[in-house]
Amino acid sequence: MSEKKVIFSGAQPSGKMTLGNYLGAIKNWTKLQDEYECLFSVVDLHAITVPQEPKVLRENAKKLLAQYIACGLDPEKNIIFIQSHVKEHLELMWVLNTMTYMGELNRMTQFKDKARKSEANLNAGLFTYPVLMAADILLYQTDLVPVGDDQKQHLELARDLANRFNNRYSDTFKIPEGYYPKEAARVMSLQDPTKKMSKSDENVNGFILLEDDPDTIRRKIKKCVTDSEGVVRYSPEQPGIKNLLDIYSALSGKSIDEIVKMYEGKGYGEFKADTAEVIISVLEPMRQKYLALLEDKEYLEKIYCEGAKKAEAKARKTLRKVYKKVGFLERKY
């Protein structure tokens, strides 16, 4: 296990994961667990940069943990844990804060976007959370980080901070690289296929949740925005159909060309109906497992407690080195 490269990733506990989250991230995570040493975190510390209802946040953390497992992340092969249960994340963040320049954080496009959208909640956590993200990554001597386009800046900051610390104090951190899976699907909104599928979409028909039941999925796909051409083909001029073809292909394993040939001379109605059934064939077993896991609170507690212990053991080794190198007096108790 120790010879394997280390991968770290995580997601915020919003309580709702979409088909886009699954195809864009988690489906690919499940393919990594045999080849790499993987740590997957429920990043609840990041979640409180926006106001949260405490009871809801706790429930959402359990829900995300259950969805991780239901989607195929094996607790026997991976370290799955709750971020706030490993205090070393915050301790390393403080050290890295003292080495992060204001100009670097000012350049973060996500901060600029969030600042525009939520001026009333412009807190220091929104400004510095990329440093916490860097701590998440560097704490575990991570080799590879699965990242999307919107996270590349944050990974670059983690790399810069690792190099800065190593240059100042001697080699301590691995320099993480981005992991860009070839098969990561970019799933678009069912109501506006020019935009990425998001659970924050005001139109609930724009996204499919992993916890949607079969009838809900059929209804959303039936209402999916297409076009007036009436021909199933993979064309940027038909973004709605193109999006459904991407989903169909990612979930069925069939190539785009193969699917297009299957629907030659057939209308959108049949194609949409079949696409819905392909989605249901994958999501429904996961939904049933997810619901069963939510009922087994003892099992979920066992998983996140064991995961935190394993993560903490690794994190403590790194932090001990960091504290020694920056000059903190060693604890003797």
**How would you class 76 by CB atoms within 10 Å of its CB: exposed for 0-12, middle for 13-18, buried for 19 or more?**
exposed
Neighbours of 209 (CB within 10 A): 20
pLDDT classification of 183: cutoffs 50, 70, 90: low
Three-state secondary-structure class, residue 39:
strand
Handedness of CA 195, 285, 302, 76 (dihedral sign): negative
pLDDT classification of 112: cutoffs 50, 70, 90: confident
Q: What is the pLDDT of residues 67-91, one digit of tens each?
A: 999 999 999 999 999 999 999 999 9
Nearest to 81 by CA among 261, 304, 268: 304
Would residue 279 be called left, alpha or beta, if left means φ above 0 and alpha means ψ between -120 and 50 degrees? Answer: alpha
Q: Which residues lie closer than 8 Å to 60 by C-beta, 6 or more apart?
A: 13, 14, 15, 47
pTM of the model: 0.91
pLDDT at residue 50, rounded to an integer? 86
Tokens of 77: 């092969």
pLDDT at residue 1, rounded to an integer? 44
The secondary structure element, H or E, covering residue 221 is helix 214-222
User: Higher confidence at residue 1 or residue 254?
Assistant: 254
Annotated catalytic residues are: 114, 196, 199
pLDDT classification of 2: cutoffs 50, 70, 90: low
User: Higher confidence at residue 188 or residue 112?
Assistant: 188
Which residue do the tokens 């706790």 mark? 58
Handedness of CA 237, 238, 240, 243 (dihedral sign): negative
Cβ atoms 46, 23 nearer than 8 A: no
